Amino acid sequence: MTTQRWALGGDLSVARIGYGAMKLTGWPRGEAPSRDTALAILRRAVELGVNHIDTSNYYSRAGVAANELIRQALHPYPDDLVIVTKVGALVEGSDIALPADRKNGLTPDGLRRGVEANLRSLGVDRLDVVNLRMGDLDRSQTSLAAPLETLLALREEGLIRHLGVSNVGAAELAQARTIAPIACVQNLYNVSQRDDDPIVDACAEAGIAYVPYFPVGGFQPLTARHLEAVAARHGATVPQVALAWLLARSPNILLIPGTSSPAHLEENIAAGSLRLTAEDLAELG
């Protein structure tokens, strides 16, 4: 496993390979593992050195909620465990099916409900990091300024330690940084989808963690001959190469690959030991 670390928010030391809990619930679509398997995955992740778990109260489907699984598996939490959650237009998992005019999680009341729901379901008094997730409503009609100011007020109440933003462009990130200290950015990025290259570099320069979601392609797994060739040279899998590429891309990148498979969890963590050569990186472009 990787021993590389990053100081999230400047004071939370996390291993650069973490775990994303969404797939434990099958939300928003997909098959969830059994409850016993989900609990075993979370416990094994921590055993393997994971101390950064990404979740949300709205990762919930068919009576299975990620936060409740995390609490059952790991509470009382290890002292160094950092749980990152998110709030936004969605408050409950079922909100994803609502029309835009009924997704009211970005209001002051909705954001407070979202934060309090995360506190309650995780069983904590303060959330380590809360990401403000944009992108679930019409971008031309939605500004992050007012929601971020609401979260900043909740931070000042002591309910949140650090703030991050998700699904944002460069201009929104710049705006966010004028409102509050930003600990992390969580956007779509992987070896095949690199539109965020400038944001990755801007975050690195500013000491902000960049946390790519869908690091191995998400619902459309990565497939490309160059990935397969590099994987074959190392006796690795394509997802392991994709994760290793991200670790090599910039030191501020933190990974949160999600899986509902214990075997895939082991493979993802092992990617931290995969060292890509200059030849590999040149081939991957």
Domain edges within the chain: 5-284
Q: Taking a C-beta distance cutoff of 8 angstroms, is the pair 36, 1 a contact?
A: no
Active-site residue 59, yes or no? yes
Out of 19, 58, 59, 210, the active site residue is: 59
The per-residue pLDDT for 219 is 61
Question: pTM here?
Answer: 0.96
Q: Where are the beta strands (DSSP E) in the chain?
A: 5-8, 12-15, 19-20, 52-54, 60-61, 64-65, 82-88, 127-133, 160-166, 182-188, 209-213
Q: What is the tens place of the pLDDT at every residue in 236-258?
A: 999 999 999 999 999 999 999 99
Query: What number is the average pLDDT over the span 130-157?
Result: 92
Query: What number is the average pLDDT over the span 6-32?
Result: 96
The per-residue pLDDT for 144 is 96
The per-residue pLDDT for 142 is 85
Q: What is the tens place of the pLDDT at every residue in 102-124?
A: 999 999 999 999 999 999 999 99
pLDDT grade for 136, boundaries at 50, 70 and 90: confident
Residues 121 and 57: their CA atoms lie apart, in Å, by: 7
Residues 29 and 114: their CA atoms lie apart, in Å, by: 21
Q: Taking a C-beta distance cutoff of 8 angstroms, is the pair 252, 210 a contact?
A: yes
Asked if residue 223 has pLDDT above 70, the reply is no
- H helix runs in 8-65, sequence order: 35-47
The per-residue pLDDT for 138 is 78
Asked if residue 173 has pLDDT above 90, the reply is yes
The per-residue pLDDT for 80 is 97
- CATH architecture of the domain with residue range 5-284: Alpha-Beta Barrel (3.20)
Asked if residue 278 has pLDDT above 60, the reply is yes
DSSP letter for each residue of 72-117: HHHPSPPTT-EEEEEEES-SSGGGGGS-GGG--TTSHHHHHHHHHH
Q: Taking a C-beta distance cutoff of 8 angstroms, is the pair 172, 165 a contact?
A: yes
Residues 6+ apart with CB under 8 A from 213: 20, 166, 186, 187, 188, 189, 256
pLDDT grade for 218, boundaries at 50, 70 and 90: low
Residues 43 and 81: their CA atoms lie apart, in Å, by: 12
Answer with the residue of higher pLDDT: 137 or 58.
Answer: 58
Residues 168 and 186: their CA atoms lie apart, in Å, by: 8
The per-residue pLDDT for 220 is 58
Asked if residue 100 has pLDDT above 80, the reply is yes
> What's the chain's Rg over C-alpha atoms?
18
Q: Residue 58 forms beta bridges with which residues?
A: none
pLDDT grade for 221, boundaries at 50, 70 and 90: low
Omega before residue 99 within 30° of 0, cis: no
Q: What is the tens place of the pLDDT at every residue in 61-88?
A: 999 999 999 999 999 999 999 999 999 9
Q: Taking a C-beta distance cutoff of 8 angstroms, is the pair 233, 277 a contact?
A: no
C-alpha dihedral over 59, 31, 24, 268, to 10 degrees? -120
Asked if residue 207 has pLDDT above 90, the reply is yes
Structure tokens at 107: 């209001």
Query: What number is the average pLDDT over the span 171-197?
Result: 97
Residues 142 and 135: their CA atoms lie apart, in Å, by: 9
What's the half-sphere exposure (Cβ side, CA atoms, 13 Å) at 223?
3
* Mean pLDDT score across all residues of the chain: 95
The per-residue pLDDT for 141 is 74
